[in-house]
Each structure stands twice: as C-alpha cells, then as structure tokens.
Amino acid sequence: MPTKLLKRTRTAITTAVRTRVNGENFAAVPPVWQTPGDRWFAPSDAIWRVHRDTSMFIGGIRALLLQSLHPVAMQAVSEHSGYRSDPWGRLQRTAQFISVTTYGTVQQAEAAIAKVDHVHNFIKGVTPEGEPYEARDPHLLKWIHIAEIDSFLAAHQAFGAKALSPERCDEYVAQTAVVAQKLGVIDAPRTRADLDEQLMSYRLELRRTEAAVEAADLLLKHPPLPKSSLPAYQMLVQGALSLIPAWALARLRLPYSPLRTLMAKPIAQTACGTLRWAFAVDQVHTPPPPID
C-alpha cells in the first residue's frame, strides 16, 4: 500500500475513534500530559502502560457488562447517567476522567475528582424493591471501581502490547486505588489477589435485571455506530466476551463457548494491533510511550 494511502488510512482511523471517545473538538483541547506540574503517576508506572494501551477499548466493554450485574448500581446508572440518550457523552466523560487522573497534574486530577464527587451528591433514589441508594455509597463505589479495574487489567494481560509481570499487576491495582480512595472508595484493593477476593465478595449481590438487559442490548446488539464501524466494533466485543467469567455470562444469559473464547483471542489481538498501529502516527493526542 502506498505511503500516502497508509497515512490517510491511519489518520482516518484515529480521527474516527478519537471523535467518538474524546468528542468532536478533541483536536482543539491541549492534552493533559503537556501541562507542567507535579503528577501522581509517570510513564514508568504500570497505570500509564495499561491506560495508554488500545486494549482499554475491550476492557471498557467488559467493565460495563460486569458492572451492570449489580442491581442497585445499575439502577443508579439507568436513572441518572443518560447513557440511552447520550451514550457517547457518557463515554467521553469517563475517558476524560481516566485520562486526567492518569496523565494530568495533581491539580487537574483533584479538580476532576471533585467534579465527579459533586455530581454524585445529586445521584440518589429508590430501587423497584424499595431499597434506597446514593452514588456516594462506598460499597457501590467499590463495585464500580473493582469491576472496572479488573476488566482493564484482564484486557491488558490478554490483548495489550506487553503483559505486566505479577509484581507490575500489583503495582497497577495499588495505583488505581489512589484515585478510587479519593473518590470515596474505602479499603480499595492494592494487590491482584485483593482485587480477585473483593470482586468475588460481591458475587451473591449480582443478578440480571431489566436495566442490565437494556445495557447489554445497547452494547452487544444495537451499538450507536455507523454500519461501516460495526465489524471492527464486533471484534472488540468478542474480545470482551471472551474475558468475562462463565458465572457472569450465565447471569447475563449470554452463552459460554470455549471455542468462541479460543477464536476471539486472535480476532481481538488483530483489532487492538490495528488501533495501536494507527494511533502510533498521532504523536500529539497519544500519551508519551511508557518507560520500562
């Protein structure tokens, strides 16, 4: 393929993805890693490597499916997040929060956390079973955190450019705990073993609800994407489904297939590799490479 065509192809991919994930005006917003100042994390940290990798797209899909299994947390999302009417807006806000708290200065990160904490003050209600809930509940905050971090780490280890050692996995979990605890999570896990144990401690609370079905349908059957993007998106979906534990798939009433899991790995690796190749040409809007 001619060099000019290759460059246009890579630019088209990065622009399409960044417009969805970072918003229409992403090019006009200075990247947070360019702001001078003290930071919680550096390119040599595990959190930088994980959150920079394109496997995060797969981790994000897995996280949303797993998070939806908690009926109270999902009720709050269903009633207050606006994911049905503005799914890309919610994705962009989440991506911005992760970017700022990972790569931004301490001042930027703390401002982002304060903003989310302020919004959480107004998220409260009652489940159909009559159980009151509020977004600042440390128990619900912990579930959202551990489902997310477990998913990001699982996706990175399966589809990332370079898997982390066991020690670096512990480092990643500990570094994400810094942000989680500032958001109100109590006793956030600090090792991979702690993460596994705390995730399983929620298992009895998890079940399929109408809100979870709606979220799964949006993610798996009716994603708000143009038809031209659906084949690539489905490659990421297959990667996400291959990483969800069999017990969670059963509660979501999604079929478990060892053969699909086996076939999904090269498909998802291809998708992540293609995105990694495309993003490599964009030195402005891609965080600096991690340092080993």
Provide the pLDDT for residue 1.
Answer: 54
Q: How buried is 243 (Cβ within 10 angstroms: 0-12 exposed, 13-18 middle, 19+ buried)?
A: buried
Separation CA 257–CA 207 (nearest Å)? 21
Provide the pLDDT for residue 82.
Answer: 65
Residues 16-45: what's their mean pLDDT? 87
Q: Which residues contact 217 (CB under 8 A, 6 or more apart)?
A: none
Provide the pLDDT for residue 107.
Answer: 97
Q: How many residues are listed for the chain in this entry? A: 292
% of the chain beyond a pLDDT of 70: 97
Separation CA 43–CA 52 (nearest Å)? 10
Provide the pLDDT for residue 224.
Answer: 86
Arithmetic mean of pLDDT over the chain: 91
Angle at 59 between CA 19 and CA 73, to 5 degrees: 95
Provide the pLDDT for residue 83.
Answer: 64
Place of tokens 């708290």: 101
Handedness of CA 166, 167, 173, 176 (dihedral sign): negative
Residue 205 has pLDDT above 90, yes or no: yes
- Beta-strand ranges (E) seen in the chain are 124-126, 132-134
Provide the pLDDT for residue 28.
Answer: 67
pLDDT digits (tens, 9 = 90+) for 142-194: 999 999 999 999 999 999 999 999 999 999 999 999 999 999 999 999 999 99
Q: Where in the chain are the domains?
A: 22-279
Closest CA to 160 of 151, 147, 173, 148: 151
Judged by DSSP in three states, 35 sits in: coil
Separation CA 203–CA 209 (nearest Å)? 15
Closest CA to 264 of 241, 282, 292: 241
